[in-house]
């Protein structure tokens, strides 16, 4: 069958065959904020059912640690450190441990290939997943802080500082967890790294820093969640040092930006392989 243009003496190359048509233009790349919102909602709805039992475990674990420490610590600065460390431990369990496992499994199962085909910036994928996982930590951290304040009879007039500690510590730990999951050569190693990171947050965050050896104290300073713990610890004082609280939160924010940047680079590196 001959195209109509060919029968009318049209010049070659102007027929109506599919191979002669111009390819359709690709859809424009999604902007950062709408893409971030879409990934966040998708991750939140997907992980809601599976993560709620794990969040209960994280909260129960932190409250149990505080009850055990109640027999060792009576009050004062040590009690404030225990409560603050246990509250941030909920964030570490979800944002660091579970996120490292998630990205390790996503890389091992080829799930990164799916995200690589979407017209979304790599940063939106990392930030959306990190924000979704960090969102699950808010109720558990609040319950732990309230329970610890009642258990150790701490002043809780400035507990609103937790509203800044959770997202900033969550950003720092989520970026670290995502980077560990994406850079680990095997899924099992990503799971191990997440578990070790949570154990470090437990030992270096919950234990009062006054009795730690000097070298362990240096390791504590390198842990991103330490500064969230310190900010929350200072807020339990009768007269908080707001300048130091702001400095601790500022360190959390800087580390969060750096860790999420590294996680975005690791995502690009893993997606092209």
- Single out the residue of 104, 97, 81, 31 nearest to residue 229, CA to CA: 81
| Residue-range domain boundaries for the chain | 30-271
What is the signed CA dihedral for 218, 220, 225, 226, rounded to 10 degrees? -80
Q: What per-residue confidence (pLDDT) applies to 47?
A: 62
Q: Are 44 and 132 in contact (CB under 8 A)?
A: yes
Q: What per-residue confidence (pLDDT) applies to 1?
A: 47
Cα separation, 99 vs 109, in Å, equals: 15
> How many CA atoms are closer than 13 Å to the CA of 220, on its beta-carbon side?
22
Q: What per-residue confidence (pLDDT) applies to 214?
A: 84
What is the signed CA dihedral for 62, 228, 164, 129, rounded to 10 degrees? -70
Predicted TM-score (pTM) above 0.85: no
Q: What per-residue confidence (pLDDT) applies to 7?
A: 46
Q: What per-residue confidence (pLDDT) applies to 51?
A: 62
* Centroid of chain to Cα 133: 6
Q: What per-residue confidence (pLDDT) applies to 149?
A: 92
Q: Does pLDDT of 17 surpass 50?
A: no
For residues 207-236, give the mean pLDDT.
88
3-state helix, strand, coil split of the chain in percent (to 5) is 80, 0, 20
Q: What per-residue confidence (pLDDT) applies to 107?
A: 85
Q: What per-residue confidence (pLDDT) applies to 28?
A: 57
Q: What per-residue confidence (pLDDT) applies to 86?
A: 94
Q: How far from 172 is each of 134, 167, 253, CA to CA, in Å? A: 10, 9, 7
Q: How far from 99 is each of 43, 71, 133, 179, CA to CA, in Å? A: 11, 33, 7, 9
């Amino acid at each position: 069958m001959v195209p109509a243009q060919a029968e009318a003496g049209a010049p070659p190359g102007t027929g109506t065959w599919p191979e002669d048509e111009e390819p359709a233009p690709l859809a424009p790349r999604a902007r950062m904020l709408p893409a971030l919102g879409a990934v966040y909602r998708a991750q939140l709805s997907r992980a809601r059912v599976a993560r709620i039992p794990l969040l209960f475990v994280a909260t129960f674990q932190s409250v149990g640690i505080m009850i055990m420490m109640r027999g060792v610590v009576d009050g004062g600065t040590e009690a404030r450190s225990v409560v603050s460390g246990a509250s941030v431990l909920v964030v570490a369990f979800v944002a660091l441990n579970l996120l490292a496992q998630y990205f390790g499994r996503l890389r091992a199962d080829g799930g990164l290939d799916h995200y690589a085909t979407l017209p979304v910036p790599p940063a939106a994928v990392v930030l959306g997943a990190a924000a979704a996982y960090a969102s699950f930590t808010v109720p558990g951290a609040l319950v732990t802080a309230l329970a610890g304040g009642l258990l150790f009879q701490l002043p809780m007039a400035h507990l609103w500082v937790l509203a800044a500690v959770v997202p900033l510590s969550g950003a720092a730990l989520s970026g670290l967890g995502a980077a560990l999951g994406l850079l680990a050569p095997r899924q099992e190693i990503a799971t191990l790294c997440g578990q070790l990171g949570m154990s470090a947050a437990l030992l270096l965050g919950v234990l009062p820093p006054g009795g730690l050896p000097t070298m362990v104290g240096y390791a504590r300073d390198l842990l991103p969640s330490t500064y969230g713990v310190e900010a929350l610890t200072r807020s339990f004082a009768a007269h908080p040092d707001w300048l130091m609280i702001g400095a601790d939160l500022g360190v959390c924010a800087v580390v969060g930006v750096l860790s999420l940047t590294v996680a975005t680079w690791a995502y690009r590196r893993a997606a092209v392989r």
